[in-house]
Chains A and B, each alone.
Chain A
Amino acid sequence: MQKSNLRIIAGLFMIPAFLLQKNLILMAAQVIFIMVVAVIKGKKVKPVPVLVVLISVVLMNLLQVNGKVLFTIGSFSVTLGALKIGLDKALTLIGMLYVSQYMVSGKPKLPGRFGQLLSKQFLFFEHIVTSWKRPEKGKFIESLDTVLEEMEHIYPDTDLSNGETNILYVKKLEVVTESFFVLCMWVSFMVGLLDIFPWG
Chain B
Amino acid sequence: MTKIKSADVFIIIISVLLIIFLFIRTYSHPQDSSELLVRVDDESWRFTLEDDRILHIPGPLGETEIHIQDGEIFVEDSPCISKICVAAGKIKRPGQWIVCLPNHIFISIEGTVDSGNGEVDDIVF
Q: Are A67 and B48 in contact (CB under 8 A)?
A: no
Beyond contacts A65-B35, A69-B45, A81-B47: 18 other A-B pairs, Cβ-Cβ < 8 A, are A64-B48, A65-B46, A65-B47, A65-B48, A66-B46, A66-B47, A66-B48, A67-B45, A67-B46, A67-B47, A68-B44, A69-B43, A69-B44, A69-B46, A77-B44, A77-B46, A79-B45, A79-B46
Chain B contributes a number of interface residues (CB within 8 A of A) equal to: 7
**B54-77, CB under 8 A of A: which get 1 and which 0?**
000000000000000000000000
In whole angstroms, how far apart are the Cα atoms of A64 and B35 in the complex? 10
In whole angstroms, how far apart are the Cα atoms of A77 and B45 in the complex? 9
B-to-A contact residues, CB < 8 Å = 35, 43-48
Chain A contributes a number of interface residues (CB within 8 A of B) equal to: 9
Q: Which chain B residues lie closer than 8 Å to A68 at the CB level?
A: 43-45
Closest to A69 in B: B44
Q: Which chain A residues lie closer than 8 Å to B44 at the CB level?
A: 68-69, 77
| B interface: dominant SS | strand
Measured CB to CB, the closest approach of chain A to B114, in angstroms, equals: 18
| A interface: dominant SS | strand
Q: Which chain B residues lie closer than 8 Å to A69 at the CB level?
A: 43-46
**A55-91, CB under 8 A of B: which get 1 and which 0?**
0000000001111110000000101010000000000
Closest to B55 in A: A67
Q: Which chain A residues lie closer than 8 Å to B48 at the CB level?
A: 64-66
Measured CB to CB, the closest approach of chain B to A67, in angstroms, equals: 6
In whole angstroms, how far apart are the Cα atoms of A65 and B50 in the complex? 11
Measured CB to CB, the closest approach of chain A to B24, in angstroms, equals: 20
In whole angstroms, how far apart are the Cα atoms of A66 and B44 in the complex? 11
Q: Which chain A residues lie closer than 8 Å to B45 at the CB level?
A: 67-69, 79
